[in-house]
Amino acid sequence: MAKVYTVSKINSYIKSLLSEDFLLRDINVSGEVSNCKYHSMGHIYFTLKDSDAAISVVMFSNYKKNMDFVLKDGMKITVRGSINVFEKNGTYNILAKSIEKSGTGDLYKRFSELKKELEDMGMFSDEYKQSLPAFSSRIGVVTSSTGAAIQDIIRVSKRKNPYVEIFLYPAIVQGEKAARSIAKGIRCLDAMDLDVIIVGRGGGSIEDLWAFNEPEVANTIFNASTPIISAVGHESDYTIADFVADKRAATPSMAADMAVMDHESFTEYMQRYSSRIHQIMLDKIFTIRHKLDMTKKDLIINSPSYKLSNYKNRVNDAKARMYNAIRYGIDKNKESLRVYIERLKGLSPLDKLSLGYAFITDMEYNRINSASEVEPEEEILLNFSDGRVVSTVKRIEKAEGGNNG
């Protein structure tokens, strides 16, 4: 029976073969940079490719210090390094020790030329950018129906707003037919009166994303009446579509987050807004009612009936004051009259007569003031308070010191 080897044994054996190969210990490889990534620790990861094949390359930060330029997609370079095998997954790459720039790749050159041409035409100008609707509920998506991009968009969109409608145009996003398919999808969704359209796909090399650099796609995005978000590749990937679109999102997930309103936040906002409107209306009603009450009072005060009533009240008050003044004057005069009456009573002959006195006159009613004014046998009148008495003088007796008759 033939000997059986484990996977780790095979990978270890292959690594030992490659590491002992003199040619592969120090080798120079030329190609075009693609999918270049700078790690936060300073390492550089990229793909080196030509027209027929590709190989992964890593340059650790301790070797990068000798580079005097920034590595970008599309550059033609020569890498000096060694072939390294990762036993765990059976893959191999180039461990770069130095990198020399040997020219700009054809794709990157085409990208730069097209970018400059469209920029000169004004297609990147902010004056042509449309604002995204604040409350989008109908979202169009131009991407592959089988890629991760559409799943990310659906997941984020439904999380933010479970009622959002998503309309997918399943486009070809890579290859010769991709540009035409993407442009057709944009035109189709643009005619559906949607709120916003997301155009994109997942990350990849400059070749994988090239359809989004084609003039046909750029012109279709520029001429669309619906706001468009470009979401092509990863955060470090830039395409012509990103510059032409109204908004650029680093990833499809971020595009969905940008396009779809948060339903819960929107509901809270509407509740606050409704409460504010309700309070404003209450304040307005209160103000109007207050003005109405003041107007009613003014109308009442200025009305003829109110004025007549007011005049009547004033007349009645004046009558009352006059009546009280007259009554007071009468009462005061009564009191004064009583005092005068009492005084007159003290001087009244009748009152004197009522005390037993009499008023003496002759028969012709001439007053007799003294005994010397009468003669014996003369008739005189004795006037009392209750009548008269005719009397005849019998004799006259004078008071002491006088003469008797």
pLDDT of 143 reads 95
Q: For residue 405, name the pLDDT band (cuts at 50, 70, 90).
A: very low
Classified as helix, coil or strand, 297 is: helix
Percent of the chain with pLDDT over 70: 94
Classified as helix, coil or strand, 44 is: strand
In CATH, what class is 111-126+133-260?
alpha beta
pLDDT of 404 reads 46
Every domain range in the chain assigned CATH 3.40.50.10550: 111-126+133-260
Considering the domain 7-104 in this protein, what is its CATH number? Answer: 2.40.50.140
pLDDT for 53-102, tens place per residue? 899 999 998 888 778 788 888 888 889 999 888 888 888 899 999 988 77
Pairing of strands 27-38, 247-248: unpaired
**What are the respective helix, strand and coil percentages of the chain, to the nearest 5?**
45, 25, 30
Longest dimension (CA), the chain: 210
Least confident of 72-76, 202-206, 250-254: 202-206
Percent of the chain with pLDDT over 90: 38
Residue range 109-120: average pLDDT?
88
Give pTM, 2 decimals.
Answer: 0.52
pLDDT for 360-380, tens place per residue? 888 888 888 888 888 888 888
- Residue 222 CB neighbour total at 10 angstroms: 17
pLDDT of 236 reads 62
For 185, how many CA atoms within 13 A lie in the half-sphere containing its CB? 27
- Residue 169 CB neighbour total at 10 angstroms: 20
What average pLDDT does the chain have? 86
pLDDT for 27-36, tens place per residue? 899 899 999 9
pLDDT for 325-335, tens place per residue? 888 888 888 88
pLDDT of 349 reads 67
Q: Which residue has the higher pLDDT, 154 or 355?
A: 154
SS (H, E, C) 124-184: CCHHHCCCCCCCCCEEEEEECCCCHHHHHHHHHHHHHCCCCEEEEEECCCCCCCHHHHHHH
H/E segment holding residue 310: helix 304-347
Highest mean pLDDT among 47-51, 84-88, 225-229, 249-253: 225-229
pLDDT of 5 reads 80
Residue 210 has pLDDT above 60, yes or no: yes
Residue range 157-182: average pLDDT?
93
Every domain range in the chain assigned CATH 2.40.50.140: 7-104
